[in-house]
Structure 1
Amino acid sequence: MAAGSRRATLRAVAAHAGVSMATVSRVLADNYPVAPATRQRVLRAVRELDYVANTHARALRGRRTGSVAFVLNDVRGPSFAEVAHGIEEETARAGLLSLICTTHGDAERELAAVRLMREQGASAVILIGGVVDNAQYRAQMARIAHALDASGSRLVLCGRPPLDPGAPTTVVEYDNESGAFAVTSRLLAGGHRRVLFLGDRPDGSTTVTGRLAGYRRALATMGLPAAPELVVPCPFRREDAHAALRERLGRARDFTAVFAATDEVAAGALGALRDAGLDVPRDVSLVGYDDVAPATDLRPRLTTVHVPYAEMGRTAVRLALAPDGRPAPPGRHALLGTHVVVRESTAPPR
């Protein structure tokens, strides 16, 4: 159509292809046999007229639009982006649309996004990332889960712990604590006894809580104390990690290894160590968690814990939806494994 012209209608597509409007509807819906030659004529007319289906009209006629919504903190986070990629990949394979909302860590914004997606008729609403797991959160999420279930949608907790029994949810987790235990144990087995944990969060996020628990369990297994001076808080941002470790190094360098709570934190830690004239891994070993872009971009390449983020996204969609694209029964739960990826950032202490 020429620029500035009105949007093509179903009637116009039918006239252009020389078929009935019913035939055009059947081709677009792909829900009734149509001769291949006729189908090609209709699809060619759709392309030439730049026809766009009116999804609002479909909804008013009682037809589901077939969408999956996912709500995450920030699209710029590498781990979030990997989960989002997995969700988008699986929804596209199933012939569904993906809708994305970001919260920037605002709990009220998350609630508003979930309500909006419920109004839009999304088949599933996937919440991604760690949370502060307390009674208020659980009660709030349970109400949301029941409301979505009543409206024909499914709440999916991705990278979050399950709610109390009875909440109609789908849950996809990864073995967070065991990954931290494994990577800390590797440092301890290599001879390190003073391992600094960088990235504690005062808000009690489930992500850091699990990683810190794994770190402490590894120390306890070796009979080592969990020294409070070796746990350094900082947000999961490169610049904050750089500043936190630089300040800690200014007080004392009483450790031989750093366990960064994320690969992004590890990138900031590497900069601080270099600024202090320390070599990784000759002077200080460094490990991270996530196995996302910074892990292989850094030099030396980072030893880290691999989390199957993209597979988490794909699994969330597969478990949440039945083959017809509608919500699957609630109660499905998957726990994905993690493993240590050894690269060049660790060595025995000198």
Structure 2
Amino acid sequence: MNISDIARLAGVSPATVSRYLNNGYVSAEKKAIIKKVIDETGYSPLASAQSLRQRRNRVIGVIVPKLSSESISRVVEGISLGLSDSGYHLFLGNTGNDVASELDYLALFQNNFVDGVIFIATEITPRHRRLFNQYTKPLVVVGQLAEGMPSVYHDDEGAAYAVVDHMIAQGSRRIAFLGVKSGDAAAGLGRHEGYRRALLDHGLEPEPTLYQEVEFSIADGYRGALRLLDGGQSFDGLFCATDNIAIGAMNCLHYSKLSVPGDVRVAGVGDSMVSKALLPALTSVHLYYQTSGQEAAQMVMGHLERGQSVNKQLRLGFELCERESTM
């Protein structure tokens, strides 16, 4: 009697039985079926197999979308701090924001030397979910709420709402938005929804002509602001999905002879180091990136070292940092 036999009798895949035996995620219905088959057959994993499962390489795989991002660096720093006293080491996989590369790393880490995985996600596709469902190692998603998966994420909608609410309180009425793709449920969809909701709650209608979708760089922020201006749109506020986008937009406004905040109030998200050094300093929202990394590391370590369940979803708060760009 082996795992394949148990899987056949239970009508599930061998991977599902393996996850059950390793305390991974299995639905309650399938858990009950597998337990019934094991109880009826008296199946017990061989002592040697148990010993193999208990061996540790003391390595945690961390999948990152890019290494050049300050926010990602803060998350990784938090993971490192969370592992600092455990004797575990990081193994970084940089995907360059490429979905295929993310899937490759998820498969590599599942089948090789790491003991657990932390996935800093920007977009979760059905292909990601299929891999998640096959995972037998502890896996925690950071930066996105992944339904049914252990996740540490931010209140992106609440953060965006707070910024736009502040800009309206300062007197802005036509607030444009430089956002990112909606496939990114956090920086894209969540922040867009927070922007829209804040406007509607103040009786202001979101105008499609005041929205531009951009990528994440400073240059993309510049180009997005330029498209708004070239389109003949007038606006007295500009909310940007990230600080880098906001910095590019402020440069564009400067070269277009528009003052910040005199003509246009500008705000971003991320509370980057550069945001504090600008003239004027950029109003932004501080998200607890380092804390998210620490929490993810503790979730993985809790499973590996203490057998704790990692089926936990943790949403972190934010802090609005009001500075000269909106005052």
Aligning the two structures, in what range does the TM-score lie when normalised by the shorter sequence? 0.7 to 0.9
Q: What's the CA shift string for 1:145-189, capped at 9, x where partnerless? A: 34332xxx21111011122x4xxx321111110000011001111
Task: Specify the alignment match of 2:56 in structure 1.
Answer: 64
Q: Structure 1 residues 327, 104: CA separation in 2 closer, same or farther (over 3 Å shift)?
A: farther
Of 270, 276, 287, which residue of structure 1 is paired with 2:250?
A: 270
Q: Distance in 2 between matches of 1:62 and 1:83?
A: 28
> What secondary structure, in the 3-state scheme, does the structure 2 residue paired with 1:264 have?
helix
Distance 1:192 1:61, change over 3 A: closer
Change (3 A) 1:288 1:187: same
1:154 equivalent in alignment to 2:138: yes
How many corresponding residue pairs?
Answer: 277
Provide the TM-score with structure 1 as the length reference. 0.74
1:50 is aligned to none
State the 1:272 CA deviation: 0.2
Distance (whole Å) between structure 2 residues aligned to residue 185 and residue 258 of structure 1: 12
> Would the alpha carbon gap of residues 335 and 62 (structure 1) be closer, same or farther in structure 2, given more than 3 Å must change?
closer
- Of residues 173, 180, 194 in structure 1, which corresponds to 2:174? 194
**Aligned equivalents of 2:134 and 2:66: distance in 1?**
25
Q: Which of 296, 307, 310 pairs up with 1:316? A: 296
Cα distance in 2 between the residues matched to 1:72 and 1:344: 33
Gaps of 5+ in 2: 1-50
Amino acid in structure 1 at the alignment position of 2:314: A
Deviation (angstroms), 1:130:
2.2
Of 308, 322, 327, the residue aligned with 1:342 is 322
Partners in 2 of 1:202 and 1:119 — Cα distance? 32
Q: Is the 8 A contact 1:70 1:101 kept in 2?
A: yes
Separation (CA, whole Å) in 2 of partners of 1:210 and 1:291: 17
Could you say which residue in structure 1 is the equivalent of 2:237? 257
Q: Name the SS of the counterpart of 2:176 in structure 1.
A: strand
Can you list the C-alpha shifts for 1:58-91, whole angstroms capped at 9, x where unaligned?
x989731111111111010111111111111211
**Structure 1's 204 and 175: CA in aligned 2 closer, same or farther, altered over 3 A?**
closer
Which of these two proteins has the greater Rg computed from alpha carbons? 1
Equivalence for 1:77: 69
Q: Displacement, 1:227?
A: 0.6
Q: What is the DSSP-based 3-state SS (H/G/I as helix, E as strand, rest coil) of the residue aligned with 2:117?
A: strand
| 1:61–1:341 Cα change, 3 Å | closer
Determine helix, strand or coil for the equivalent of 2:145.
coil
Residue type of the alignment partner of 1:94: S
Matches within 5 A, 1:117-196: 117-131=109-123, 133=124, 137-138=125-126, 140-149=127-136, 153-163=137-147, 165=148, 169-196=149-176
Asked if 2 retains the 8 angstrom alpha-carbon contact of 1:145 and 1:154, the reply is no
One-letter code aligned to 1:275: Y
Q: Distance in 2 between matches of 1:211 and 1:110?
A: 24
Q: Which runs of 4+ in 1 moved over 6 A?
A: 59-62
The RMSD of aligned alpha carbons is 2.1
Tell me, yes or no, if structure 1 residue 231 matches structure 2 residue 206.
Answer: no
1:308 & 1:246 partners in 2: Cα distance?
Answer: 31
Relative to 1, partners in 2 of residues 1:214 and 1:202: Cα closer, same or farther, differing over 3 Å?
closer
Matched, 1:307 2:287: yes
Give the Cα separation in 1 of the matches to 2:128 and 2:310: 14
C-alpha contact (below 8 Å) 2:145/2:313 kept by paired residues: no
Assess if the C-alpha contact under 8 Å between 1:234 and 1:240 holds in 2.
yes
Q: Is the 8 A contact 2:63 2:120 kept in 1?
A: yes
Residue 105 (structure 1) aligns with: 97
Q: Deviations over 1:208-245 (max 9, x none)?
A: 11000000000110111011111111111111111221
Rounded to whole Å, the distance in 2 between the matches of 1:234 and 1:110 is 22
Question: Does the Cα contact within 8 Å between 2:179 and 2:192 map onto a contact in 1?
Answer: no
**Which residue of structure 2 aligns with residue 89 of structure 1?**
81
Q: Which moved more, 1:241-250 or 1:170-179?
A: 241-250
Alignment map for 1:40-59 (pairs within 5 Å): none
Q: Quote the sequence identity (%).
A: 29
The DSSP-based 3-state class of the residue aligned with 2:150 is strand
Query: SS of the residue aligned with 1:321?
Result: helix
1:320 Cα deviation after fit? 2.1
Name the aligned partner's letter for residue 158 of structure 1.
V
Kindly state the Cα deviation for residue 124 of structure 1 after the two structures are TM-superposed. 1.9
Change in CA separation of 1:63 and 1:202 when aligned onto 2, cut-off 3 Å: closer
Give the secondary structure class of the aligned counterpart of 2:305: coil
- For 1:11-50, list aligned pairs within 5 A: none
